[in-house]
A and B are shown apart, each in its own frame.
Chain A
Amino acid sequence: GVLHTSVVLLTEMCERSPDMLAHFRKVGLVPQLVRILKNLIMSGYSPEHDVSGISDPFLQVRILRLLRILGRNDDDSSEAMNDILAQVATNTETSKNVGNAILYETVLTIMDIKSESGLRVLAINILGRFLLNNDKNIRYVALTSLLKTVQTDHNAVQRHRSTIVDCLKDLDVSIKRRAMELSFALVNGNNVRGMMKELLYFLDSCEPEFKADCASGIFLAAEKYAPSKRWHIDTIMRVLTTAGSYVRDDAVPNLIQLITNSVEMHAYTVQRLYKAILGDYSQQPLVQVASWCIGEYGDLLVSGQCEEEEPIQVTEDEVLDILESVLISNMSASVTRGYALTAIMKLSTRFTCTVNRIKKVVSIYGSSIDVELQQRAVEYNALFKKYDHMRPALLERMPVMEKITTNGPTEIVQTNGETEPAVLETKPPPSGLQPASQANDLLDLLGGSDITPVIPTAPTSKPASAGGELLDLLGDLNLTGSPVSAPAPQIAQPPFLLDGLSSQPLFNDIAAGIPSITAYNKNGLKIDFTFERSNTNPSVTVITIQASNSTELDMTDFVFQAAVPKTFQLQLLSPSSSVIPAFNSGTITQVIKVLNPQKQQLRMRIKLTYNHKGSAMQDLAEVNNFPPQSWQ
């Protein structure tokens, strides 16, 4: 008894104060504890302390816990404990709950301290055995601990994947929840198809409180590991149809973005979506995505060209029928109606014979009670009457939106020997950068499109943090003309589309007089930077470099590479040529687009490689003399 209470006291002390921890480690508590534990296990049978053949489990568990705290982050203590832990793990019999309790504590301890890998494998095997146990409690405990360890020992846990998936079908709510979380953690490229099937089946049958989580989890996993676009779209469709009403609101813009990305699948997607809502248009997210797609790709639907599936014959009237019924139906939320109305409007340019009908529908809603709907209808009406010439241009297809998550700031690959691990955010990492590979086409979007058609606001809950700048970018885009509160997750379009057109000058590349600089001038090679800023998006700076050669021989195979600090994003377009003729008789031009949402001082490191006078030359330089107008 005394021993037990003293161990408890020690545990509390060590938990509260790290000094005590250090003190006890020094004092050599660990070997003492190890000895006590050994005695406990080896020594004879003490009837008063034991529980069904295991001597004093309470004390054992307590000691193990204290060992865990002592061993955390400390290599020496961990080593001392390794043996005893292994012994306990192998000798304790598991037929009774007591033994399992001790094993559980042992496993937790092994996971926490810096144990050797053999011991870890042992621990995971024990957990695996637990999983197969019939007793629910044990299984629950095993699932919980596996969840904790899946980060570190991924492979080992994979082995037990099938058991975990079986647990999904268990009746018990807690077990199901644990199993679901664990399954999401285990999904990877290899097993994604099988796991998805199981998870979709689970989605069908689980309780409502799980459905939202499960749906989001499935989306995330599908996004990361989708083996093919078609499979991805199929999975999404399945989720939408089974758990449609539980899907989170922000998933809709994500899906839409996904669909625009898979260009070749448009016909197939729109066909499937159309079929889906033909039957039942009560699930809001499904209807929203479907109406958006029908609006965009309605012409593909009607023309009946679909490679992946049997093309269905749909007439324009039928499409309009379905969209109208969505509008009229009582089940549709006001947002859904907004989507539907816009879709009908877009179809006015895509369809040829039903324009009058569309006009009629739009004018009906000009007097609708819902303000949002009314506003849209009135504007679209005006579009028909006064700006009919602009209608096609306005409602043309949306450009492809790049995925926001995976393209972080263009990370630099450390190719040459120069180290200097770029830890600080503002320090530009050294060495070259593959030009324009990560292709932030979003910048192209800015540069290319004159008119901003319907753009959903960026999904606000995308997990990757690195995409933060791009989110700002999209928010900026929407702000052309009028302040729309950026994070509104559901608004699919700025209501002031027409205002945006008339009041704002179209995308203006020329900014007044930013002085150009000479970035580099050495060995006869001179590189000048000229700057342009756009009015519509102040975070983008377009730099045109001109490289000229004042020596007597040409420079060939000229490659220009640039790197910027992490807070910027860079896009390098292709150069005009790779030969700089001698005597300044010609130049190479290349365009660089720099995205600088945080308006930090622009700095750049450039690497030049070229052949000159028969030898390969290479140089690194830093450009710091950017004029303030180029980045402020």
Chain B
Amino acid sequence: MQFMLLFSRQGKLRLQKWYVPLSDKEKKKITRELVQTVLTRKPKMCSFLEWRDLKIVYKRLYASLYFCCAIEDQDNELITLEIIHRYVELLDKYFGSVCELDIIFNFEKAYFILDEFLLGGEVQETSKKNVLKAIEQADLLQE
């Protein structure tokens, strides 16, 4: 995976994680373009699109939040959808029936969970229990 973006329906960026080195200006440009493209898609449309020689997989959740991942040519699109789904499940388990507000207010936790789950663009830990255990341990340390 090259990068992952989360944004609301109004186009506000909630979370961004980049697995390729890009300058700040480029990141902003890509974000803007991608957000525009995805937001114009109608709900019935296919979740995959081609954009600038990357494949974009996006999922629309909770009626107002878009999860968007950019993958390379050889990656499996369907499994990327699963990755998105798994991530949402992790968030759900951790926050207890998560909604967008949770992500807004506890975004650093969201990032932690993402980092436990994905590393360098690939899935690191497939077991939900392990990921959550790691987060819990980190929380304990915090307190």
Chain A residue numbers with a CB within 8 Å of B49 are: 174
Is the C-beta of B125 less than 8 angstroms from some C-beta in chain A? Answer: yes
Which chain B residue shows the least CB distance to A15? B74
Which chain A residue shows the least CB distance to B120? A8
Main secondary structure of the interface of A (DSSP, over half): helix
Is the C-beta of A559 less than 8 angstroms from some C-beta in chain B? Answer: no
Contact A137 B82 (CB under 8 A): no
Contact of B82 among A51, A62, A140, A173 (CB under 8 A): A51
Given contacts A171-B44, A171-B45, A174-B50, A5 and B79 within 8 Å (CB-CB) = no
Contact B82 A97 (CB under 8 A): yes
Chain B residue numbers with a CB within 8 Å of A137 are: 46-48, 77-78, 81
Given the complex of chains A and B, what is the CA–CA distance between A101 and B85 in angstroms? Answer: 13
Minimal beta-carbon separation of B98 from chain A (angstroms): 18
Is the C-beta of A396 less than 8 angstroms from some C-beta in chain B? Answer: no
Which chain A residue shows the least CB distance to B50? A174
Chain B residue numbers with a CB within 8 Å of A5 are: 119, 122, 124
Chain B interface: which size bin? 20 to 34
Contact A141 B77 (CB under 8 A): yes
Chain A interface: which size bin? 20 to 34
Chain A residue numbers with a CB within 8 Å of B122 are: 5, 8
Is the C-beta of A59 less than 8 angstroms from some C-beta in chain B? Answer: yes
Contact of A172 among B44, B76, B77, B78 (CB under 8 A): B44
Contact A101 B81 (CB under 8 A): yes
Is the C-beta of A154 less than 8 angstroms from some C-beta in chain B? Answer: no
Is the C-beta of B83 less than 8 angstroms from some C-beta in chain A? Answer: yes
Given the complex of chains A and B, what is the CA–CA distance between A604 and B122 in angstroms? Answer: 62
Which chain B residue shows the least CB distance to A99? B78
Chain A residue numbers with a CB within 8 Å of B81 are: 97, 101, 137
Given the complex of chains A and B, what is the CA–CA distance between A536 and B88 in angstroms? Answer: 75
Is the C-beta of A98 less than 8 angstroms from some C-beta in chain B? Answer: yes
Given the complex of chains A and B, what is the CA–CA distance between A101 and B78 in angstroms? Answer: 5
Chain A residue numbers with a CB within 8 Å of B119 are: 5
Best-surrounded residue of B46, B81, B125 (most CB of chain A within 10 A): B46
Interface residues of A in 134-185 (CB under 8 A from B): 136-141, 171-175
Chain A residue numbers with a CB within 8 Å of B128 are: 48-49
Which chain A residue shows the least CB distance to B119? A5
Chain B residue numbers with a CB within 8 Å of A1 are: 124-127, 130
Given contacts A48-B127, A49-B126, A58 and B79 within 8 Å (CB-CB) = yes
Given contacts A105-B76, A171-B44, A172-B44, A49 and B82 within 8 Å (CB-CB) = no
Contact B76 A4 (CB under 8 A): no
Which chain A residue shows the least CB distance to B133? A48
Which chain A residue shows the least CB distance to B57? A137
Contact A58 B82 (CB under 8 A): yes
Is the C-beta of B99 less than 8 angstroms from some C-beta in chain A? Answer: no
Contact B123 A108 (CB under 8 A): no
Interface residues of B in 8-59 (CB under 8 A from A): 42, 44-50
Minimal beta-carbon separation of B142 from chain A (angstroms): 23
Is the C-beta of A56 less than 8 angstroms from some C-beta in chain B? Answer: yes
Is the C-beta of B86 less than 8 angstroms from some C-beta in chain A? Answer: yes
Is the C-beta of A104 less than 8 angstroms from some C-beta in chain B? Answer: yes
Contact with B along A54-70 (1 / 0, CB 8 A): 00111101100100000
Chain B residue numbers with a CB within 8 Å of A98 are: 82
Contact B82 A57 (CB under 8 A): yes
Given the complex of chains A and B, what is the CA–CA distance between A1 and B116 in angstroms? Answer: 11
Contact A104 B45 (CB under 8 A): no
Chain B residue numbers with a CB within 8 Å of A65 are: 74, 76
Chain A residue numbers with a CB within 8 Å of B46 are: 136-137, 139-140, 172, 174-175
Contact B124 A4 (CB under 8 A): yes
Minimal beta-carbon separation of B45 from chain A (angstroms): 5
Given the complex of chains A and B, what is the CA–CA distance between A21 and B42 in angstroms? Answer: 44
Contact A61 B48 (CB under 8 A): no
Given the complex of chains A and B, what is the CA–CA distance between A49 and B132 in angstroms? Answer: 12
Chain B residue numbers with a CB within 8 Å of A584 are: none
Is the C-beta of A100 less than 8 angstroms from some C-beta in chain B? Answer: yes
Kindly list the 10 A-B residue pairs having the minimum CB-CB distance in the complex, ordered from nearest.
A101-B78, A48-B129, A1-B125, A136-B46, A48-B127, A101-B79, A58-B126, A140-B46, A172-B45, A61-B79
Apart from A61-B76, A137-B77, A171-B42, 19 more pairs, CB < 8 Å:
A4-B123, A4-B125, A5-B122, A48-B127, A48-B129, A56-B126, A57-B79, A57-B82, A58-B86, A61-B79, A65-B76, A100-B78, A104-B78, A136-B44, A137-B78, A137-B81, A171-B45, A174-B45, A174-B46
Instruction: Pick 28 A–B contacts, CB within 8 A, sort by A.
Output: A1-B124, A1-B130, A4-B123, A4-B125, A5-B119, A8-B123, A48-B129, A49-B127, A51-B82, A56-B126, A57-B82, A58-B86, A97-B81, A98-B82, A101-B76, A104-B78, A105-B76, A108-B76, A136-B44, A136-B46, A137-B46, A137-B47, A138-B78, A141-B78, A172-B45, A172-B46, A174-B45, A175-B46
